[in-house]
Amino acid sequence: MSETPTHDGVTEIDSNISQSQIVFSDSVPRRWILKGAAAMAGLSACRGLTFHPACAIEPFDRPKPGKLRLSMAAYSIRDLLKRKDSDWDLFRFVDYCHELGLDGAELTSYYFPENVDDAYLTRLRLHCHQRGISISGGAIANDFCQNDSSKLAADIEHTRRWIDRYAILGAPVIRIFAGGQPKGEEWSTTLKRCTDSIDEVAQYATKRGIYLGLENHGGVTSTASQLLEIVRNVKGDGFGVNLDSGNFRSTNDPYSELEQIAPYAVNAQLKVEMFPGGKKEWTDIPRVLRILADSGYSGFVALEYEASDPPLEAIPEWIAKLQASLKELQS
């Protein structure tokens, strides 16, 4: 996304655990399974270090080509959802996704009632089921780079609270941000604080059966190399990349950047505009879908509409283009 709204608001890996204590399940991704004594030694070696190859997450090992489905982010109609005089809410947004023939809906946290409770979440989940719409994911605002300890703790708690809420909804993934580097601070210091925070919340998310996806969102994630430096320093499971097709704006070849991060993707958002060299042009939709499929990514591709034309006029046309491109890709 191109804006970060304001909002209110470390469990360590136990290297002494024995293999006999590990519970394996068919629902656990292959990448999450520890592979014998070598892996255990690697986990022990990485404790207290900023980076160790044995600790870092690797690209997902998954069949190629990937299987893609279409969703839409609630952020696409943000103005309607934020206006006090509007009759749009997340229930109507889900209905709209159904009308467009989509399989999923991404329910951005910014548009829930301020005092959302479990009863609301349960009603919304059941409403999605009644409409045949899967909750493809969620999205929150956070800053894990900030050096104000009280604000950082609040953002960690904010993330944990939304992990619990999205678990009730049955969402498989939550989009998170890295944040912004504090002025004058050494990058190594910021990096460690950011990755320690992600490790903590990712381990919590894993217990709730949810992935956290770090978005390429400008700032310290402006390029693929910057994003992947953070990703490769995270030791916890339950973590990957939220690929946003429109957010690599400082490079002449954003498609190449997308190819680098796609193998780590646990969620994908597609914008209709891209900015090679900072210059706006329409997204090559078939190319983005091909990058995702060729990487082995299987999951939802959520339209995140940010262009200037009125969303209710433009979105149906863009959804039709996405559906046609996906049909051709899979034919």
User: What's the CATH number where 286 sits?
Assistant: 3.20.20.150
CA–CA separation, 168 vs 65, rounded Å? Answer: 31
Question: How are the residues of the chain apportioned to helix, strand and coil, as percentages rounded to the nearest 5?
Answer: 45, 15, 40
Query: How many other C-beta atoms can be found within 10 angstroms of the C-beta atom of residue 91?
Result: 14
CA–CA separation, 270 vs 287, rounded Å? Answer: 11
Give the pLDDT of residue 55. 52
Residue 26: inside a domain? no
- Whole-structure pTM value: 0.84
Q: Which two tokens stand for residue 175?
A: 């989009």
Residue 30: inside a domain? no
Residue 86: inside a domain? yes
Q: What is the pLDDT along the chain (331 residues), one digit of tens a residue?
A: 444 443 333 333 333 333 333 333 344 444 443 333 333 333 333 333 333 334 557 899 999 999 999 999 999 999 999 998 999 999 999 999 999 999 999 999 999 999 999 999 999 999 999 999 999 999 999 999 999 999 999 999 999 999 999 999 999 999 999 999 999 999 999 999 999 999 999 999 999 999 999 999 999 999 999 999 999 999 878 999 999 999 999 999 999 999 999 999 999 999 999 999 999 999 999 999 999 999 999 999 999 999 999 999 999 999 999 999 999 999 9
100: which residues sit within 8 A by CB, 6+ positions away? 72, 315, 316, 319
Cβ contact 287:255 at 8 Å: yes
**Helices then strands (H, E): number in the chain?**
10, 10
Task: Tell me the one-letter amino acid at 331.
Answer: S
Residue 96: inside a domain? yes
Give the pLDDT of residue 217. 96
Q: Which two tokens stand for residue 317?
A: 């046309």
38: which residues sit within 8 A by CB, 6+ positions away? none
CA nearest 217: which of 3, 9, 6, 8?
A: 3
Residue 27: inside a domain? no
Query: How many other C-beta atoms can be found within 10 angstroms of the C-beta atom of residue 195?
Result: 26
Give the pLDDT of residue 116. 97
Work out how many domains the chain is built from and give that number: 1
Residue 4: inside a domain? no
Residue 215: inside a domain? yes
Residue 258: inside a domain? yes
Please, what's the largest Cα pairwise distance for the chain? Answer: 60
Domain with 76, as residue range(s), is: 62-330
